Amino acid sequence: MIANTSRGAGRHVCIVGAGIIGCATAMALSRDGWRVTLVDAQATPGQGETRANGAQLSYSYVEPLATPAALRALPGWLLSADSPLRWRPRNDWAHWRWLAAFVASCRWPQVRRTTDALLSLSALSRDTLQSWLDTVPGLAAGTLHARPGKLVLYRDAAARPSVQRQLGWQREMGCVQRVVEADECRALEPALAVTGGGDIAFGVWTDSEAVVDAALLAQALARASGAMMRLGDTALRFEQRDGRVHALQLSSTQRIDADAFVLAAGPAARALLQALGWAPLVEPIKGYSITLPVLEPNAAPRVSVTDQGRKLVYARLGEQLRVAGFAELCGTDRSLDPRRIDALCKAVRETFPGACGFDDPKPWVGLRPATPGGRPLIGATRWPGLWLNAGHGALGLTLAGGSAALLSSLMGGQAPAIDPLPYRLPA
């Protein structure tokens, strides 16, 4: 067990979900003096949407999905057969409400507010995770955490003005980033020089960005938090008494009583809240990844690369290359489309030829739990005793530490390090 302060004063909290958000929350609450129980349906932490994600700790690059540029590009994406985006309309009222709210969020003032909120949270995340890595013995070991910097490649020169605008906002919030020309992109990532990296219009370089294996980090946080683990058991419903959530019923027929509960169940949080009578809009956005062995280290990217044109991310995790991408709105369908996996393999072959082996690409599908505007939901629910930490979309790994620290402050009645209002649940 790690050193505690006394905010939780030994009170018992039960967290539902041992993904990266739940495990980081366990760590923050445990450090603040809570006695923590962590419940997950899977046998190991970090096996849900966290498991084989893009691995990027993208602290300075937080542009939400909902932007005017995304709205303009949408028709083209939806009509193109090999588009990175896919949409299957569903007969589900919440789905249409989410889409309407998404479109309403695609306005610059809204994008600006969301960018500010996400940057505040990501700065807190960077500080929180770094302090844990620095002070908790053994935490970093084996998580493949590294700080190689990040290069975002743009294929369309017309994107430059909106990128400049976004970088200007991010600079005001303390992010150190710069626009680089195609040649400098190839100098920053020499593995691009083999093929030239295709038609690069320009890039954005951020020196300070990091990578980590999200599943290994979740497991390390769960261990280091000293939480009591209830793995392989499904949370069925919360029970209320005297207007307060006081217990959680599990599928094993056992019940957990606690002073407080945190719902950190990723896309499944919605269904558990819905059973109480109300749930916020969170849409699962499906993505894919492959994890390849690096055969030729000099041919594989050393820095973290986002190919904005193809909507793909590359992260070097020790001897492996993680490649992730695509966004499909098709509900909770987790089927693995082999064409998507082929497209990821093809992109690696074309961009970094000779770098990796393809015998077993370890294909993976995950659902990003996305709110319409892109801000996660962190705070008290309308049911006393029940708190929410969910809806982190494409940035859950990046935002985990800050979301956990913020929630722990709120639960302990302390002044939070950042303004909690942008993440507050709708009334």
CA angle 126, 40, 383 (to 5 degrees): 80
Whichever of 16 and 378 has its CB closer to ligand FAD, that residue is 16
The DSSP bridge pattern shows strands 283-293 and 320-329 to be antiparallel
* 121 lines the binding site for ligand FAD (CB under 6 A): no
In the complex, least distance from residue 325 CB atom to ligand FAD, rounded to whole angstroms: 7
Per DSSP, the residues of 369-427 read: EE-SSS--EEEE-SSTTEEEEE-BGGGHHHHHHHHHHHHHHHHTTPPPSS--GGGPPP-
Q: Which of 13, 14, 15, 16 binds ligand FAD (CB under 6 A)?
A: 16
Contact mark string toward ligand FAD, 144..183, x via CB under 6 A: ----------------------------------------
Q: Which of 14, 21, 129, 221 binds ligand FAD (CB under 6 A)?
A: 21
Whichever of 114 and 398 has its CB closer to ligand FAD, that residue is 398
Closest CA to 303 of 289, 292, 314: 314
In the complex, least distance from residue 271 CB atom to ligand FAD, rounded to whole angstroms: 8
In the complex, least distance from residue 50 CB atom to ligand FAD, rounded to whole angstroms: 3
Contact mark string toward ligand FAD, 229..268, x via CB under 6 A: -----xx----------------------------xxx-x
Q: Which of 303, 324, 356, 407 binds ligand FAD (CB under 6 A)?
A: 324
Whichever of 261 and 352 has its CB closer to ligand FAD, that residue is 261
Q: Which of 13, 15, 20, 167 binds ligand FAD (CB under 6 A)?
A: 20
- Give the HSE-up count for residue 8: Cα atoms under 13 Å, Cβ half-sphere: 28
Compute how many other C-beta atoms are within 10 angstroms of the C-beta atom of residue 291: 20
**CA atoms of 41 and 18, how far apart (whole Å):** 9
Q: Looking at 106-114, 158-166, 190-198, 283-291, which segment touches ligand FAD (CB under 6 A)?
A: 283-291
Write the CA distances from 243 to 15, 37, 143, integer angstroms: 20, 22, 42
The residue with tokens 């299957």 is 88
Q: Which of 30, 37, 58, 320 binds ligand FAD (CB under 6 A)?
A: 58
Q: Looking at 50-58, 114-122, 160-168, 350-358, which segment touches ligand FAD (CB under 6 A)?
A: 50-58
* 366 lines the binding site for ligand FAD (CB under 6 A): yes
* 40 lines the binding site for ligand FAD (CB under 6 A): yes
Write the CA distances from 322 to 51, 139, 294, integer angstroms: 12, 22, 10
Contact 12, 35 (CB under 8 A): yes
The DSSP bridge pattern shows strands 283-293 and 364-370 to be antiparallel
In the complex, least distance from residue 378 CB atom to ligand FAD, rounded to whole angstroms: 11
H or E segment at 261? strand 260-263
Whichever of 182 and 406 has its CB closer to ligand FAD, that residue is 406
The residue with tokens 């990027």 is 56
Q: Looking at 44-52, 119-127, 165-173, 238-246, which segment touches ligand FAD (CB under 6 A)?
A: 44-52
Please state the φ and ψ torsions of residue 382, each to the nearest 5 degrees.
-75, -5
Residues in the chain: 427
Structure tokens at 215: 């599943």
Q: Looking at 12-20, 158-166, 180-188, 238-246, which segment touches ligand FAD (CB under 6 A)?
A: 12-20
* 287 lines the binding site for ligand FAD (CB under 6 A): yes
* 19 lines the binding site for ligand FAD (CB under 6 A): yes
User: Total residues at the site for ligand FAD (CB under 6 A)?
Assistant: 43
The residue with tokens 């493949």 is 144
Whichever of 41 and 175 has its CB closer to ligand FAD, that residue is 41
**CA atoms of 325 and 315, how far apart (whole Å):** 12
List residues binding ligand FAD (CB under 6 A): 16-22, 39-42, 47-50, 53-56, 58, 234-235, 264-266, 268, 272, 287-289, 313, 324, 366, 368-369, 390, 392-398
